Amino acid sequence: MDVTFTPEEEAFRKEVQSFLAENLPKLGKTSRREFETKEDFLGWHRILAKKGWVAPHWPTQYGGTGWNVTQRYIYNEESARAEAPALLPFGLSMVGPVIFTYGNEEQKKKFLPRILSGEDWWCQGYSEPGAGSDLASLKTRAVREGDHYIVNGQKTWTTLAQYADWIFCLVRTNPDVKQQEGITFLLSDMKTPGITVKPIIVLDGAHEVNEVFFDNVKVPVENRVGEENKGWTYAKFLLVNERSGIAGVARSKKAIERLKEIARAETTDGKPLIATDEFSRKIAETEVELSALEYTELRTLAQESKGQMAGPESSILKIKGTEIQQRLTELVVEAVGYYAYPYDRFFGENEYVPGPDYAEAAAGNYFNMRKASIYGGSNEIQRGIIAKAVLGL
Ligand SMILES: Cc1cc2nc3c(=O)[nH]c(=O)nc-3n(C[C@H](O)[C@H](O)[C@H](O)COP(=O)(O)OP(=O)(O)OC[C@H]3O[C@@H](n4cnc5c(N)ncnc54)[C@H](O)[C@@H]3O)c2cc1C
C-alpha cells in the first residue's frame, strides 16, 4: 500500500482547502450542538450540492463526483480539519445507495435528485422496541391490499425523524418463514395519515431520537425497493455502509488536535497538563490507536479501489472508531475537570457558565457520545460478526 500523495493529489487537496476556506464562513452555525432548525442541519449540504460535491461516493451517473478513493480520503480529511459540519447519512449514505443499487428506474429518478439537493430528508426505520440487536425479529407488519401495503407497528430510536419527509422501513411481509426471509424494504412519505412521531430526549438533553408509530398506514407498492421478502439483503448492504461511515477517523484526528490544545491550556501543579506523564501518555495511547485505525481504513479504501467493497470488516472500523470517539470525550472532561460540571447544573438556563469556552460542551459531548457504541449495531454485536464472518469462529 502506497501512502504518499502524488503532485496531482496535492493539487486536489489545495482545491478542496480553498473551497472550504471560501465557503465555510458563509455558514452561521457549524457545530451540531448549535443546530436548532432543519435549515441549520441543511446549510452545508446545500452549499455542497450546489458545487456538486455532496455525494462523492455515488456513481457519477447519479450525481457522484467521480473522485477516486484517494481523492475522497483527502476530501474527508480536509473537511474534518476545517471542521465542516458532518452531513446526515440517512439519505446520502444509507437509502441513496440502496436505491441506486437495488431500486427501479422510477425510484432512481424520483428520489436520488431530491436526496442530493436536500429537498427530501430521510430517516431510518429499522429498530423496534423488541428488535434492535436482533433486528431480524422485527414485527412491524405490512399486509398487501391491491396496489398498497397496510403498515402497522412501531419503530424506535429513529434519529431526527421530527424533520423527516420520508422514512425507509424494514417491515414483515411474511410471518410464516425464517425471520430473514419475510422482510421487505419500504419507503413511506412521513405525511401519510397514520404515522405519528413522538420525541425521545437523550442524555445530553437533546431531542435527537424518536418513536415512530404506524397505524394502518397505506404505502403504495411502487414504494417497495426490490422484491417482496428480500429486504434483508438490502438491509445488510445498508448496514455495512452505515458502520464504515461511523468510524470517523478524520474527525477524531481533529478532535485529538483540539484535546492537545486544551491540555496545553489547562495546568496541574503549575504545569501544562500536556507536560505531565500521565495525561500525555493517555493522549499518546489514543493517538496510536487512531493511527492504527487510520491504516485499517486505508487498507479497506485500497481494496475498494480494486473493486472489492467492504464487508463484515466494517465492524472493526465501527468498534475501534467509536471507542476512540468516546475516549476523546472522556479525556476532554478529565482535562477540564470541574469546569465540565456546570453543564449539568445550568443546562437549559440562561446563566453565566464559568470556565473556558472549550469546557462548555465537554460534559454534553461526553454524555452524547455514549450512544456511539450502541447505534449502527452495538459493539458487542459487531464483535460477534467479526468472530463469525471475519475469523470464521
Ligand atoms: C442515539 C441513537 C440513535 C439511533 N438511531 C437509529 C435510527 O435512526 N434508526 C434505527 O433504526 N435505529 C437507531 N438506533 C437504534 C440502534 O441501532 C439500536 O439501539 C441498537 O441496534 C441496539 O439495539 P437495542 O437498543 O434494542 O438494544 P438490545 O438489542 O436490547 O441490546 C441491549 C444490550 O445487550 C447487548 N446484546 C444484545 N444481544 C447480544 C448478543 N447476541 N451478544 C452480546 N451482546 C448482546 C447489546 O450489545 C446491548 O448492550 C439508534 C440508537 C441510538 C442509541
Question: Ligand 1 center to residue 315 CA distance, Å?
Answer: 14
Determine if ligand 1 sits within 6 Å of the CB of residue 388: no
- Asked if 235 and 185 count as a contact pair (C-beta separation under 8 A), the reply is yes
Q: How confident is the model at residue 350 (pLDDT cuts 50, 70, 90)?
A: low
Per-residue pLDDT tens over the stretch 293-311: 999 988 888 888 787 877 8
- Tell me, what CATH number does 153's domain have? 2.40.110.10
Residue from 242, 266, 294, 360 carrying the catalytic annotation: 242
Domain termination site, one of 63, 87, 111: 87
Please check whether residue 117 lies inside any domain of the structure.
no
- Asked if 149 and 224 count as a contact pair (C-beta separation under 8 A), the reply is yes
For residues 183 and 231, what is the distance between their CA atoms, to the nearest angstrom? 5
**Pocket-testing residue among 123, 381, 386, ligand 1, by greatest number of atoms within 8 A of Cβ:** 381
Cell numbers found for residue 258: 483540539
Q: How confident is the model at residue 75 (pLDDT cuts 50, 70, 90)?
A: very high
Number of the ligand 1 atom closest to the C-alpha atom of 209? 3
- Tell me, what CATH number does 378's domain have? 1.20.140.10
Please name the residue whose Cα sits nearest to atom 32 of ligand 1. 133
Determine if ligand 1 sits within 6 Å of the CB of residue 166: no
pLDDT in the model for residue 375: 93
Please check whether residue 239 lies inside any domain of the structure.
no
Please name the residue whose Cα sits nearest to atom 24 of ligand 1. 132
Specify whether 252 is located in the same domain as 158: no
User: Mean pLDDT over residues 92-108, rounded?
Assistant: 97
Please check whether residue 359 lies inside any domain of the structure.
yes
pLDDT in the model for residue 240: 86
Q: How confident is the model at residue 2 (pLDDT cuts 50, 70, 90)?
A: low
pLDDT of 346 higher than 60: no
Determine if ligand 1 sits within 6 Å of the CB of residue 381: yes
Report the domain count for the chain. 3
Look at residues 221, 188, 222 and name the one whose alpha carbon lies nearest to residue 104: 222
pTM of the prediction? 0.93
Domain termination site, one of 196, 229, 262: 229
Determine if ligand 1 sits within 6 Å of the CB of residue 371: yes
Determine if ligand 1 sits within 6 Å of the CB of residue 122: no
Determine if ligand 1 sits within 6 Å of the CB of residue 159: yes
Question: Ligand 1 center to residue 385 CA distance, Å?
Answer: 14
Question: Ligand 1 center to residue 212 CA distance, Å?
Answer: 16
Please check whether residue 316 lies inside any domain of the structure.
yes
What count of residues does the chain have? 393
Number of the ligand 1 atom closest to the C-alpha atom of 133? 29
Q: How confident is the model at residue 355 (pLDDT cuts 50, 70, 90)?
A: confident
Q: Which domain holds residue 158?
A: 122-229
Number of the ligand 1 atom closest to the C-alpha atom of 128? 26
User: Which position has the higher pLDDT, 341 or 129?
Assistant: 129
> Is 242 designated active site?
yes
Please check whether residue 100 lies inside any domain of the structure.
no
Per-residue pLDDT tens over the stretch 168-196: 999 999 999 999 999 999 999 999 999 99
Number of the ligand 1 atom closest to the C-alpha atom of 90? 8
**Pocket-testing residue among 98, 158, 378, 379, ligand 1, by greatest number of atoms within 8 A of Cβ:** 378
Specify whether 159 is located in the same domain as 285: no
pLDDT in the model for residue 166: 98
Specify whether 251 is located in the same domain as 224: no
Look at residues 86, 83, 71, 65 and name the one whose alpha carbon lies nearest to residue 24: 83
Specify whether 253 is located in the same domain as 386: yes
pLDDT in the model for residue 28: 79
**What single DSSP character describes residue 285?**
H
For residues 321 and 247, what is the distance between their CA atoms, to the nearest angstrom? 4
pLDDT in the model for residue 345: 46
pLDDT of 347 higher than 60: no
Specify whether 48 is located in the same domain as 137: no
Please check whether residue 115 lies inside any domain of the structure.
no
Average pLDDT, the chain: 93
Please check whether residue 199 lies inside any domain of the structure.
yes
DSSP E strand boundaries for the chain: 122-125, 141-145, 148-156, 166-172, 183-189, 195-201, 207-220, 224-225, 267-268, 271-272
Please name the residue whose Cα sits nearest to atom 31 of ligand 1. 133
pLDDT in the model for residue 343: 62
pLDDT of 261 higher than 90: yes
Determine if ligand 1 sits within 6 Å of the CB of residue 367: no
Question: Ligand 1 center to residue 210 CA distance, Å?
Answer: 14
For residues 126 and 133, what is the distance between their CA atoms, to the nearest angstrom? 11
Please name the residue whose Cα sits nearest to atom 26 of ligand 1. 132
Query: Position of cell 440487536?
Result: 133
Question: Ligand 1 center to residue 14 CA distance, Å?
Answer: 41
Determine if ligand 1 sits within 6 Å of the CB of residue 89: no
Q: Percent of the chain, pLDDT > 90? A: 78
Question: Ligand 1 center to residue 378 CA distance, Å?
Answer: 5
User: Which position has the higher pLDDT, 197 or 298?
Assistant: 197
Per-residue pLDDT tens over the stretch 139-154: 999 999 999 999 999 9
Question: Ligand 1 center to residue 22 CA distance, Å?
Answer: 40
* 194 φψ region: left (φ > 0), alpha (ψ -120 to 50), beta (else): left
Specify whether 83 is located in the same domain as 207: no
Specify whether 252 is located in the same domain as 386: yes
User: Which position has the higher pLDDT, 60 or 343?
Assistant: 60
User: Mean pLDDT over residues 118-133, rounded?
Assistant: 97
Question: Ligand 1 center to residue 155 CA distance, Å?
Answer: 12
pLDDT of 197 higher than 70: yes
Specify whether 11 is located in the same domain as 134: no
Domain termination site, one of 203, 229, 255: 229
